[in-house]
């Protein structure tokens, strides 16, 4: 996955725009594109909204078609309930790696917020159905909008991390 992003950074010429405080401390400056390296250098308050099972990353980076020529992942990609135990184990590892990358942010930041749910989706802030509707996904009975609002208005430290798939029954799996 890192090589994918390194190629992306090179292709788009992003490296000169990465935080110089970050890039000056690392042997591989392109690592400053990744949250575990970039977040300590962001000075403005920051909110992370993401799925632990982001389907874009799942389909195009974790298991791109080129890495699955026999199409063993096709059914799993179309319907997460069709994933076998080995595939689910890989997806849980993907989630665990993401949470590990964000652990310092989660544990040490008091001004920043996060909402990491276990829904198989990509974008969750663009529609009412996932943002604030009656049937919106929830973590600890809070919608994305409620969590962002609590963070934005400094009502409380807002850092919600969902339990691992398949425990969240409020998800809209947009696979």
When divided into structural domains, the chain yields a total of: 2
Q: 27 and 54, same structural domain? A: no
Q: Identify the pLDDT of residue 118.
A: 95
Q: Identify the pLDDT of residue 4.
A: 77
**Residue 76, preceding peptide bond in cis (omega within 30° of 0):** no
Mean pLDDT of residues grouped by 10 in the chain (175 residues)? Answer: 80 92 93 90 93 94 93 95 97 96 91 95 87 92 96 95 94 80
Q: Identify the pLDDT of residue 172.
A: 84
Q: 39 and 50, same structural domain? A: no
Q: Identify the pLDDT of residue 48.
A: 96
- φ, ψ for residue 51 (rounded to 5)? -90, 140
Q: How far apart, in whole angstroms, are the C-alpha atoms of residue 139 and residue 135? A: 12
Q: Identify the pLDDT of residue 1.
A: 66
Q: Identify the pLDDT of residue 34.
A: 87
Q: 65 and 126, same structural domain? A: yes
Q: 38 and 64, same structural domain? A: no
Query: What is the span of the domain harbouring residue 51?
Result: 46-175
Of 10, 26, 43, which residue constitutes the final position of a domain? 43
**Residues 115, 139 contacting (CB under 8 angstroms):** yes
Q: 2 and 59, same structural domain? A: no
Q: 69 and 143, same structural domain? A: yes
Q: 136 and 104, same structural domain? A: yes
Q: What angle is formed at CA 51 by the lines to CA 47 and CA 54, rounded to 5 degrees?
A: 125
Q: 167 and 137, same structural domain? A: yes
Q: 126 and 82, same structural domain? A: yes
């Amino acid at each position: 996955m890192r090589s994918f992003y390194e190629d992306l950074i090179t292709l788009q010429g992003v490296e000169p725009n990465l935080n110089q405080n970050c890039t000056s401390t690392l042997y591989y400056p392109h690592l400053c594109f990744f949250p575990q390296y970039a977040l300590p250098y962001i000075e403005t308050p920051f909110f992370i909204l993401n799925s632990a099972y982001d389907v874009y990353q799942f389909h195009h980076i974790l298991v791109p078609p080129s890495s699955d020529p026999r199409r063993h992942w096709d059914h799993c990609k179309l319907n997460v309930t069709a994933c076998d135990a080995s595939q689910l184990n890989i997806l849980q590892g993907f989630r665990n790696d993401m949470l590990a990358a964000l652990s310092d942010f989660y544990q040490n930041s008091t001004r920043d917020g996060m909402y990491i749910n276990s829904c198989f989706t990509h974008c969750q802030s663009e529609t009412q159905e996932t943002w604030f509707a009656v049937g919106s996904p929830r973590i600890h009975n809070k919608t994305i909008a409620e969590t962002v609002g609590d963070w934005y208005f400094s009502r409380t430290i807002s850092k919600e991390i969902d339990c691992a798939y398949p425990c969240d029954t409020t998800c809209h799996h947009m696979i």
